[in-house]
Amino acid sequence: MLNVNELNTQAVEIESVLRMKTKPLAVKMLEKEEDIPRGAKRPIKDLGCHLSLCQAVSLARRQGMSIAELKEDMWCFEPVLGLGMAEAPEYFLEGHNRYPGTASTLEAGRNWAQAFPRLEAGKYIGIAVAPLASADFVPDLFILYTDSSQLTQLLIAKNWMDGRDITSTLSGHAACVYTIAPVLKSGQFQVAVPCFGDRRRGMASDEEIIFSGPCTLLGGLLAGLKHIKEAGEGLPLPHLMLTEYKLRDSYVKIGKMIGMDL
C-alpha cells in the first residue's frame, strides 16, 4: 500500500538528486466526484476558464497548484478521449483530426488515430495533478519534466533496478496522453516528448523530455538514482575529453575477450 507521506519525501529527494528545474508531479485518475482531492482547484469553478491539460500540468509543476479537471473543465479534446472521459467519435477515428494539417493523407491520419493510446471509455470522469512533494492524495503515477542529462540518470536507474531498458511509443502529438495512458495500461515507465500544445500553451522548454511511471516503482527508481550518485556518476556530471581514459575493470576484461587492444 502506497503511503502519501513517503511519496512526498521521495519527490523531494528526486528533485534534489536530479537538480530539477520544475516540480515532480503526482497524477490521480478520478472515477467519481468524491475522488477529487481536497483543495484542488477546478478550472471553471475556481479559475473562471477552461484549461488544456498541458496548462494544468504547467501550473502544477511551475506554480505548485493542485488542479482537478473533469470533462467540462477541459479545453483540448485529446486528453478527454485518451484518458477515457468520452468515446472516440468515428470522425476522429477516420483520421480527420490529423488530416490535412499534420498528415499527408486521410489514411495517414487514420493510422495515427487508430494507434492513439486510449483508456477504457467511461472508467474515469477526470484527472487531478499536483506537485508530488505536497500532494495530499495517493497518485496513480508521477511525471518528471527532465533534460537529456537527467533522463540519462533515470534510464540508468531503471537499468539498475532490473537490467531492462524502456520501450516507449513516441509521438509529436498529445504529450499529455502519451505521458499518462501507456503508464496506466502497462504499469511501466514511459518517455514522451512535449507536443506543440505543451510547448506553446504549457510552456515546455526546448530541452525538456517527459519521464513518467507508476508510483509503485518510484522507490526503486530513487534507490537507483542514489546508487549512481554514490558511485560518482550523479549530477553534475563532469566533462573530461581524455583519450585512452581509464576504463572500468569489466570494460577491460570484456574488451580483451573480444580481441580489442586495451
**Grouped pLDDT means (10 residues each) for the chain, 262 residues:** 95 98 98 96 98 98 98 98 98 97 98 98 98 97 98 98 97 98 98 97 97 98 98 89 90 95 94
**pLDDT at position 238:** 82
Phi, psi dihedrals of residue 109, rounded to the nearest 5°: -65, -40
Amino acid identity of 139? P
Q: How many helices (H) and strands (E) does the chain have?
A: 10, 6
pLDDT at position 9, please?
Answer: 98
**Distance in angstroms (rounded) separating the CA atoms of residues 130 and 27:** 7
What are the cell numbers at 154?
Answer: 533515470
For position 71, what pLDDT does the model report?
Answer: 98
Give the three cell numbers for residue 121: 471509455
Residue 52: predicted pLDDT = 98
Q: Could you tell me the strand order of the sheet in which 25-30 lies?
A: 67-70, 126-131, 25-30, 141-146, 209-214, 190-192
CA dihedral 137, 142, 146, 151 (to 10 degrees): 150
Q: How far is CA 204 from CA 53, 78, 183, 201, 214, in A?
A: 13, 18, 21, 8, 22
- Residue 239 confidence (pLDDT): 81
> Can you read off the three cell numbers belonging to residue 138?
495517493
Q: Give the residue among 119, 133, 144 at the shortest CA–CA distance from 30.
A: 119
Residue 93 · residue 66 · CB < 8 Å: no
